[in-house]
Amino acid sequence: MKITRIIEQAVPIDSNIRNAYIDFSKMDVSVVAIETDVFRNGKPVIGYGFNSNGRYAPSGLLRDRFIPRLRDASAEQILNDAGDNLDPHRIRTVLMTGEKPGGHGERSTAVGVIDMAVWDIVAKVLDQPLYRVLADRYRGGEIDEKVFVYAAGGYYQPDKGLSELQEEMRSYLDMGYSVVKMKIGGDTLDEDLRRIEAVLEVVGNGRNLAVDANGRFDEETALAYAAALEPYNLFWYEEPVEPLDYELHAAVAKAYSPPLATGENLFSMQDARNLIRHGGLRADRDWLQFDCALSYGLVEYLDIVWMLEENGWSRRNCIPHGGHQLSLNIAAGLGLGGNESYPGVFQPFGGFADDMPVENSYVALPDVPGIGFEAKSELYKVLQSVAS
Amino acid sequence: MKITRIIEQAVPIDSNIRNAYIDFSKMDVSVVAIETDVFRNGKPVIGYGFNSNGRYAPSGLLRDRFIPRLRDASAEQILNDAGDNLDPHRIRTVLMTGEKPGGHGERSTAVGVIDMAVWDIVAKVLDQPLYRVLADRYRGGEIDEKVFVYAAGGYYQPDKGLSELQEEMRSYLDMGYSVVKMKIGGDTLDEDLRRIEAVLEVVGNGRNLAVDANGRFDEETALAYAAALEPYNLFWYEEPVEPLDYELHAAVAKAYSPPLATGENLFSMQDARNLIRHGGLRADRDWLQFDCALSYGLVEYLDIVWMLEENGWSRRNCIPHGGHQLSLNIAAGLGLGGNESYPGVFQPFGGFADDMPVENSYVALPDVPGIGFEAKSELYKVLQSVAS
């Protein structure tokens, strides 16, 4: 088995939205297509990968360092013992050769993009959905038939008032979501509370609403929001503070008793472990949002899962950031707590298979080989155009 | 005042050396030249920046994101209030617009390279050496006339035996260094102890020798080395363990009483603060090696210095990684503990002004405007070739 071609292209995900930290109007993602000499149904197997929203396309890193390393590797360095499929763990070693420890950003995205394409190939060569491959390899074959998903939206947008916000949330309920998420911290606390009250009118109660501050608050603001939010008993209060300020996370956790969520801006097992060790989070309620596509991929994510379990956490505490089909496969195959979903934005990268409706905030996965990109037609069009 | 031109070029620092983690044969650095419409001595002021060894040239990030942001910024966004010089703090804000928190790697190098060129311009426009500008702005004018430097070498190289290692170290003493550093962890403990004993024969005693494990050791190995090294009372024992494993740093600090050193692979104030909070290091003896050129530049380094002082540490505990003239200026202007030096490797980027000999492990700085690149002829040739 051989890799015959590796292509990278940056694709815009232009969106007229902003969270409390950045606007997305200049955001792009790298799409990588890896073609092999293995044929299935008369066509060469091609694996696709892309990074999640929120970090820019790491095109330069892919082209200058990581794609050349993969291209130059020997068969033994990248194949399994039988030589009939790629070995993602060995490929990870190839990609990280010559890289010093620490400094987990950007390159973690580049490696994550390649890793996604590699797992897509692994499952396609086995002619199985990836979630089944993962369940067989790492979970004794058990699969979650459907995965909890929540609708992430509620962004700040020009001319978006309370009624537009309510309309947006109503549309998510109509799509089959019962849990929704909205941004906070881009306005005053009073105004955000009005926005929250408006959404609660639509979704019924706090257990159906998560809020996300995108790491913006200082201690005083985080604690003021915590005190104001506590009575709503929300699904979660996400990224109240700077993602690497573990001590401040611990202070918020001490003051706020309902669930917190964080982790989307920690891009390695080492950073995730520091959050667990020093962040004061509570394994009986808090949520972890590490995103494999920004964090060296599924190979690293497996290390994060084992690390969590060694530290008394369950993988059910994990609901990854990113809203992509790789994390959905991981959730179903490894048994995570769920996955993010962006029904309105980051198209066509966000979202799941076309013919799989969301029901009561759960979604099933298609029975197609690989990660399932071929079952999401608008995304597959983009991926195919990169490969062609 | 205007920026008229920004050029980036990756330059190899091909070196036939390796530390315990990587080899440097494929390493390169980004050189950035920023030209302005300010004239000094009949020529336009050009500022130069480059990244330290150990991380690759962030060319793609510079070309795709950071240089365009700087190029597209308005005069008010990048100049001081008087409009007659660049403002590095404002430029930092411009560069980081649209960047999410967390994930401090690669982009921290790209921003660091630009920051270096910006400070070079600031000092050249003021017609002063940068160390004087820094002393005036941040230290009431006090300057250290000379800076402690140690000779970092002792790399593993093919066919390098004990006598070659001794010869290398002897050459550093001949150059005027009294403190030298060697790599450990690329061989067995027994062999490394033989290498250490061989070097001690040359440098006299442990206070003249630092050792560097480059973050390679697991707990057992780190502690075994700690026990074996303790009797030598070395200048320092550097990066015994994974740079982000603060808990393990604390365990080593508990077991090892002479000085430790670490920090070169932490690239932000937030990461540095976590080391101080959770790493169990000792302000009365341990050394911090944060490298501004890999960590968003001097603007971030100032934040690190203030953070250290808030936490009861002295800036004298800082001896930056990287061996470049920017850190030497910071050391002299802000009053750090010293600076790294690579007399044998990473040329022409490593090292200091041509006519400034090292004496008793101290070096003085030239009285030339800017960072002083023009006083280091081999480096200036490379920088000029990028700008031309």
Task: Determine the pLDDT at residue A333.
Answer: 98
In tens, the pLDDT along A166-202 reads: 999 999 999 999 999 999 999 999 999 999 999 999 9
Residue A298 contacts residue A119 (beta carbons within 8 Å) = yes
In tens, the pLDDT along B84-135 reads: 999 999 999 999 999 999 999 999 999 999 999 999 999 999 999 999 999 9
Residue B188 lies in a domain: yes
A100·B54 Cβ contact <8 A: yes
- Dihedral of alpha carbons B119, B124, B130, B133, sign: negative
**Range B129-151 average pLDDT:** 98
Q: Which domain holds residue A318?
A: 137-387
Coil, strand or helix: which one is A73?
Answer: coil
- Name which of A109, A111, A244, A276 to mutate to probe chain B: the one with the most chain B Cβ atoms within 10 A of its Cβ: A244
Q: In angstroms, what separates the C-alpha of B291 from chain A's closest C-alpha?
A: 12
Which residue out of A124, A321, A324, A376 is catalytically annotated?
A321
B100·A215 Cβ contact <8 A: yes
Of B26, B58, B247, Cβ closest to residue A277: B247
> Nearest Cα to A8, choosing from A27, A37, A28, A38?
A28
Average pLDDT, chain A: 96
A274·B278 Cβ contact <8 A: yes
Coil, strand or helix: which one is A174?
Answer: helix
Chain B: residue whose CA lies nearest to A96: B22
More confident residue, A26 or B353: B353
> In which band, very low, low, confident or very high, does the pLDDT at A19 lie, cut at 50, 70 and 90?
low
Which residue out of A104, A183, A249, A376 is catalytically annotated?
A183
Window from A16-20, A168-172, B356-360 with minimum mean pLDDT: A16-20
Task: Determine the pLDDT at residue A13.
Answer: 82
Taking CB atoms and an 8 Å cutoff, what residues of chain A touch B246? 274, 277-278
Of B22, B103, B265, Cβ closest to residue A105: B103
Q: Same domain, yes or no, for A220 and A170? A: yes
Residue A327 lies in a domain: yes
User: Containing H/E element for A299?
Assistant: helix A298-310
- Name which of B95, B104, B183 to mutate to probe chain A: the one with the most chain A Cβ atoms within 10 A of its Cβ: B104
In tens, the pLDDT along A34-85 reads: 999 999 999 999 999 999 999 999 999 999 999 999 999 999 999 999 999 9
Residue A308 contacts residue A276 (beta carbons within 8 Å) = yes
In tens, the pLDDT along B318-352 reads: 999 999 999 999 999 999 999 999 987 888 888 89
- Name which of A52, A104, A111 to mutate to probe chain B: the one with the most chain B Cβ atoms within 10 A of its Cβ: A104
Chain B: residue whose CA lies nearest to A270: B244
Coil, strand or helix: which one is B59?
Answer: helix
Chain A: residue whose CA lies nearest to B270: A244
Q: Judge whether residue B141 has pLDDT over 80.
A: yes
CA A292 to chain centre: 6
Q: What percent of chain B has pLDDT over 70?
A: 98
B103·A294 Cβ contact <8 A: yes
Q: Same domain, yes or no, for B160 and B278? A: yes
One-character DSSP codes across A11-47? EE---S-B-SS-B-TT-EEEEEEEEEEEEETTEEEEE
Task: Determine the pLDDT at residue B15.
Answer: 65
Window from A15-24, A89-98, A133-142, A196-205 with minimum mean pLDDT: A15-24
Tell me the β-bridge partners of B370: B129
Task: Determine the pLDDT at residue B25.
Answer: 74
Write down which residue in B127, B152, B170 finishes a domain: B127
Please give the interface size between A and B, counted as residue pairs whose CB atoms are below 8 Å apart.
139
Q: Are strands B43-50 and B28-40 parallel, antiparallel or unpaired?
A: antiparallel
Residue B296 lies in a domain: yes
Residue B387 lies in a domain: no
Q: Same domain, yes or no, for A100 and A244? A: no
Q: Same domain, yes or no, for B200 and B310? A: yes
Taking CB atoms and an 8 Å cutoff, what residues of chain A touch B22? 97-100
Taking CB atoms and an 8 Å cutoff, what residues of chain B touch A268? 244
Q: In angstroms, what separates the C-alpha of B266 from chain A's closest C-alpha?
A: 6
Taking CB atoms and an 8 Å cutoff, what residues of chain B touch A293? none
Residue A131 lies in a domain: no
Task: Determine the pLDDT at residue B344.
Answer: 72
Task: Determine the pLDDT at residue A17.
Answer: 66
**Range A258-274 average pLDDT:** 98
Write down which residue in B127, B149, B182 finishes a domain: B127
Which residue out of B183, B249, B324, B376 is catalytically annotated?
B183
> In which band, very low, low, confident or very high, does the pLDDT at A230 lie, cut at 50, 70 and 90?
very high
Of A27, A61, A244, Cβ closest to residue B270: A244
Q: In angstroms, what separates the C-alpha of A204 from chain B's closest C-alpha?
A: 32
Distance CA B300, CA B267 (A): 9
Average pLDDT, chain B: 96
Tell me the β-bridge partners of B79: B86
- Catalytic residue status for B183: yes
Residue A18 lies in a domain: yes
- Name which of B53, B55, B100 to mutate to probe chain A: the one with the most chain A Cβ atoms within 10 A of its Cβ: B100
Task: Determine the pLDDT at residue B346.
Answer: 82
**Range B28-55 average pLDDT:** 96
Coil, strand or helix: which one is B73?
Answer: coil
Q: Judge whether residue B362 has pLDDT over 90.
A: yes
B104·A108 Cβ contact <8 A: no
More confident residue, A157 or B171: B171
Q: Judge whether residue A20 has pLDDT over 70.
A: no
Chain A: residue whose CA lies nearest to B241: A101
CATH number of the domain at A333, please: 3.20.20.120
As a three-state string, the secondary structure of B236-285 is EEECCECCCCHHHHHHHHHHCCCCEEECCCCCCHHHHHHHHHHCCCCCCC
Q: Same domain, yes or no, for A120 and A144? A: no
In tens, the pLDDT along B197-243 reads: 999 999 999 999 999 999 999 999 999 999 999 999 999 999 999 99
Taking CB atoms and an 8 Å cutoff, what residues of chain B touch A246? 274, 277-278
Task: Determine the pLDDT at residue B17.
Answer: 66
Of A58, A99, A274, Cβ closest to residue B22: A99
Confirm whether pTM is higher than 0.80: yes
Chain A: residue whose CA lies nearest to B215: A101
Residue A313 contacts residue A299 (beta carbons within 8 Å) = no
Q: What percent of chain B has pLDDT over 90?
A: 93
B60·A64 Cβ contact <8 A: yes
Q: Same domain, yes or no, for B24 and B123? A: yes
Q: Same domain, yes or no, for B189 and B228? A: yes
Residue B303 lies in a domain: yes
Q: In angstroms, what separates the C-alpha of B146 from chain A's closest C-alpha?
A: 32
Q: Is the peptide bond before A12 cis (omega within 30 degrees of 0)?
A: no
In tens, the pLDDT along B284-314 reads: 999 999 999 999 999 999 999 999 999 999 9
Q: Same domain, yes or no, for A119 and A215? A: no
Taking CB atoms and an 8 Å cutoff, what residues of chain A touch B245? 270, 273
**Range B5-33 average pLDDT:** 82
Q: Which residues contact A200 (CB under 8 A, 6 or more apart)?
A: A206, A209, A232
CATH number of the domain at B48, please: 3.30.390.10
B64·A54 Cβ contact <8 A: no
Write down which residue in B82, B99, B127 finishes a domain: B127
Of A23, A60, A214, Cβ closest to residue B64: A60
Coil, strand or helix: which one is A200?
Answer: helix
Q: Same domain, yes or no, for A116 and A191? A: no
Q: Same domain, yes or no, for A214 and A354? A: yes
Task: Determine the pLDDT at residue A12.
Answer: 86
Which letter, b or e, does each residue of B167-200 get, where b requires 16 or more Cβ atoms within 10 Å of its Cβ?
Answer: ebbebbbeebbbbbbbbbbbeebeebbebbebbb
Number of domains in chain B: 2
Task: Determine the pLDDT at residue A345.
Answer: 80
A58·B60 Cβ contact <8 A: yes
Q: Same domain, yes or no, for B103 and B220? A: no
Of A100, A106, A246, Cβ closest to residue B21: A100
Residue B358 lies in a domain: yes
Q: Same domain, yes or no, for A85 and A201? A: no
